[in-house]
Amino acid sequence: MTRPLKIAFAGLGTVGGGVVKALQKRSEILEARAGRPLEIVGMCARSRHKSRGFEVTNWVDDPQALAAGDADVIVELIGGEDGPALALSEAALESGKHVVTANKALLARHGAHLAALAESKGLALRFEAAVAGGIPIVKSLRESLIAYGVVTVRGILNGTCNYILTQMEATGRSFEEVLSDAQHLGYAEADPTLDVGGGDTAHKLALLAGLAFGMTPDLDHMPVEGIAHISPEDIAFAREFGYRIKLLGIAKATAQGIDQRVQPAMVKAGTPLADVDGAFNAVMAVANDAGPFFFEGRGAGEAPTANAVIADLVDIARGNMGPAFGIPAHSLISLSPAPAGSAVSAFYLRFQVLDVPGVLAEIAGHLAKWRVSIESMIQRGRAPSEAVSIVMITHETKHADVQRALKTIALSDKVIAPPCMIPMEAR
């Protein structure tokens, strides 16, 4: 009989529990796929006695003990970019054990280091579940989309944000109201900052950019903007112009360097990314002459994410030991970032102003000074001296020029709130 692949789990929450249940219930078909049995030889979590819906076996109290045990693979599902997760991953690799993880924060900060350690030991570091849940985007970028090179990756990488924006559009309610409902339904954490602030998307984008461009994941040169400032008014105006607002992670190879950013963006209605609703994730990768490739699926949840972890385990069982980021860790390049503000696009601008004579001319003058030209505009007035919105779509221009113009416009005594600026993505 072929020797089993021995697996130990650190973390038995939604994802870990889902993997264990699948391994216990579908052992025969998974053995056939892997070419050998997949055997659980260790488990560790915060609480041993919590009801989990599966049999808890081979328990240890300290996750570090898993690294010293007889497992072939450690599945790290603890979370966090440092602390026990990093210590366990390093100890596992040092002791000759493969590592499978869903920990995007850990890999965004330490992925290149862990990849180098794994390769030095002839081991696998796998992380399909760390990005976009059940969508096989990591394997696709690492192994499939390689012939012509990837020039752009853009995606909806956080289901919480996409759910909130979808519900705001459907109901007309505010961000705060929809967020409260999302927390009640379990779509958002009690502290949603990492999600709605864009940090979770940034971790995932750093990994996708590393895979796409053969570089060390880099969070330090990535502007990150969340969705808390998006209003129902912005969403309604977007619809009027034929767009939908999505939180995107974007990484592009440009002549000036790699442009990577997280931001709300206007996406043309009817295009693949615009049509992604609810808690779903999606990624579009443009591979030069091979064209665009679009991936969509559930970005979180027990079954989709457990499926991604098991796919990595089956790969290891089959002996697939390629580099974690597609090329040897020593060949990963450091990010050469595009200059800040150099990204070029059209922009949606909204100004909340007093409805008094001269305000439009003043705004237009400041925009013209910074070479920002207007393509279309909506202005709806009410009674004198009351606040109204002026909404503009610009022609393509540099991000930095628009920011400079808005900084000046915000100083006007006729502008009563910070201007809203949202870049527009054509597809």
Within a domain: 190: yes
H or E element, residue 282: strand 280-286
Mean pLDDT of 414-421: 93
CATH number of the domain where residue 223 is located: 3.30.360.10
Query: How many CB atoms lie under 10 A from the CB of residue 213?
Result: 23
Asked if the structure places residue 393 within a domain, the reply is yes
Query: Are 278 and 394 found together in one domain?
Result: no
Helix ranges (DSSP H) in 35-147: 63-68, 83-94, 104-120, 137-139
- For 91-116, b/e burial (b = at least 16 CB within 10 A) is bbbeeebbbbbbbbbbbbbbbbebbb
Q: Which of 6, 97, 204, 246 is catalytic?
A: 204
Same domain, 65 and 152: no
Phi, psi of 95 (to 5 degrees): -95, 10
Domain of residue 64, CATH code: 3.40.50.720
pLDDT beyond 70 at 382: no
CATH at residue 360: 3.30.70.260
Tally of domains within the chain: 3
Mean pLDDT in residue range 312-332: 95
Report phi then psi at 166, rounded to 5: -65, -45
> Taking the C-alpha atoms of 211, 215, 221 and 227 in order, what is their torsion angle to the nearest 10 degrees?
0
Active-site residue, 369 included: no
248 and 396 together in one domain: no
Given 269, 291, 326, the domain boundary residue is 326
- Both 96 and 153 in one domain: the answer is no
The DSSP 8-state label assigned to residue 53 in this structure reads: S
Domain that holds residue 354: 344-425
In a domain, 402, yes or no: yes
- What percent helix, strand, coil does the chain show, rounded to 5? 40, 25, 35
Instruction: Give the three-class secondary structure for 83.
Output: helix
Look at residue 39 and give its three-state secondary structure.
Answer: strand
Q: How far apart are the first and last CA of the chain?
A: 52
CA distance 279 to 277: 7
In this structure, the strands spanning 5-10 and 73-76 are: parallel
Residue 379: pLDDT band with limits 50, 70, 90: confident
What is the average pLDDT score of the chain? 93
Q: Could you tell me if 216 and 333 are in contact, meaning their C-beta atoms sit under 8 angstroms apart?
A: yes
pLDDT exceeds cutoff 90 at 291: no
* Mean pLDDT in residue range 37-52: 89
Q: What is the pLDDT, as a whole number, of residue 426?
A: 66
Residue range 53-57: mean pLDDT, rounded = 81
Task: Tell whether 249 and 153 lie within a shared domain.
Answer: yes
Using an 8 Å Cβ cutoff, are 209 and 137 in contact?
no
Backbone angles phi, psi at 335, to 5 degrees: -60, 130
Domain assignment present for 80? yes
Q: Has residue 313 been placed in a domain?
A: no
19: exposed, middle or buried (Cβ count in 10 Å: 0-12, 13-18, 19+)? buried
Residue 134 confidence class, pLDDT cut points 50, 70, 90: confident
152 and 82 housed in the same domain: no
d(CA 189, CA 283): 23
pTM of the model: 0.93
List the beta strands (DSSP E) in 15-168: 38-44, 73-76, 98-101, 125-126, 152-156
Summarised one tens digit per residue, pLDDT across range 75-128 is 999 999 989 999 999 999 999 999 999 999 999 999 999 999 999 999 999 999
Are 220 and 374 contacting, i.e. CB atoms less than 8 angstroms apart? no
Residue 49 lies in a domain: yes
For residue 68, what are its two tokens? 């010293």
Print burial letters for 317-345: b (CB count within 10 Å at least 16), e (below 16). beeeeebbbbbebeebeebebbeeeebeb
In a domain, 173, yes or no: yes
Is 371 a domain residue? yes
Band (pLDDT 50/70/90 cuts) for residue 401 is very high
Instruction: Please tell me whether residue 348 adopts helix, strand or coil conformation.
Output: strand
Average pLDDT rounded to a whole number, residues 368-389: 82
Residue 334's φ and ψ, nearest 5 degrees, are -75, 150
Q: Do 10 and 92 have their domain in common?
A: yes
**Do residue 143 and residue 283 come from a single domain?**
yes
* Residues 219 and 248 placed together within one structural domain of the fold: yes
- Average pLDDT (295-314) is 92
Same structural domain, 129 and 156: no
Poorest-pLDDT segment among 70-74, 128-132, 351-355, 377-381:
377-381
Pair 274, 148 in one domain: yes
Residue 333's identity, in one-letter code, is I
Residue 69 structure tokens:
């045990």
168 shares a domain with 115: no
